[in-house]
Amino acid sequence: DTGVSQDPRHKITKRGQNVTFRCDPISEHNRLYWYRQTLGQGPEFLTYFQNEAQLEKSRLLSDRFSAERPKGSFSTLEIQRTEQGDSAMYLCASSLGSGTSSSYEQYFGPGTRLTVT
Amino acid sequence: AQSVTQLDSHVSVSEGTPVLLRCNYSSSYSPSLFWYVQHPNKGLQLLLKYTSAATLVKGINGFEAEFKKSETSFHLTKPSAHMSDAAEYFCVVTLQTGANNLFFGTGTRLTVIP
């Protein structure tokens, strides 16, 4: 399968614990995005990388959240001191892009469903 | 403020009848507009996109959408619904020209009745 993959698919954690999610984009894609989707809502943008550089962060990305893409390939999203409000589906997407073009299709992974108890 | 509004949270149609999912957008710039579909337990899939070329955009699975600047609309249509079309549909806009992130509507759940 050459699509975007995410691991784990499901994560249940207790409030206050740290969690880390991984995203493997399509191999030739230089852009990688993280989104969060809560029940009954559309996905909301969190952050975006071009290669290894994190170029944009949403105000939704509090200081408990950190994302990395150390070698411009896979990415990790860590949430520290989880809260019940962090319960959501975390989606990763990747695309090809250059300059400021936003017309390149974003390919989404299946998501990681986080439940904080 | 720039945003996208999906006018119906739930649409129900009979198999073989037309589908219309409505979307209005607000953007200070020339927008790029998309429709994505999300089947249960599957990733989001792009149906079609408008990026300032032809205003009538054809997508996969027989769907199409028409960009109407005067009405700030980008409604999704399909002539004949199939059972496999049952899913959640999202209208999506870029916030501004050259933006790299997508702004999703709240979604429309399409139910297809046999």
Provide the sign of the torsion angle of the four alpha carbons A91, A92, A98, A103, taken in this order: negative
Phi first, then psi, for residue B62 (nearest 5°) are 80, 5
pLDDT at B29 over 80: no
Residue B92: list chain A partners with CB under 8 A: 42
Q: Which amino acid is at A56?
A: E
Report yes or no: A7 and A26 within 8 Å, Cβ to Cβ: no
* Listed residue (B28, B13, B1, B30) closest to B79, CA to CA: B13
Examine residue B79 and say whether the peptide bond preceding it is cis (omega within 30 degrees of 0).
Answer: no
Task: Name the one residue in this structure whose structure tokens are 């509090």.
Answer: A62
Max mean pLDDT among A11-15, A46-50, A59-63 falls in A11-15
Residue A45: list chain B partners with CB under 8 A: 101-103
> Using the beta-carbon criterion (under 8 Å), do B98 and A110 form an inter-chain contact?
no
Chain B closest-CA separation from residue A19 CA (Å): 22
B70 at A interface, C-beta within 8 A: no
pLDDT at B44 over 60: yes
Average pLDDT, chain A: 91
Report the residue of chain A nearest B101, measured CA to CA. A45
Distance CA B53, CA B80 (A): 26
Max mean pLDDT among A5-14, A55-64, B36-45 falls in A5-14
Residue A99: list chain B partners with CB under 8 A: 98
How much is the pLDDT for B52? 74
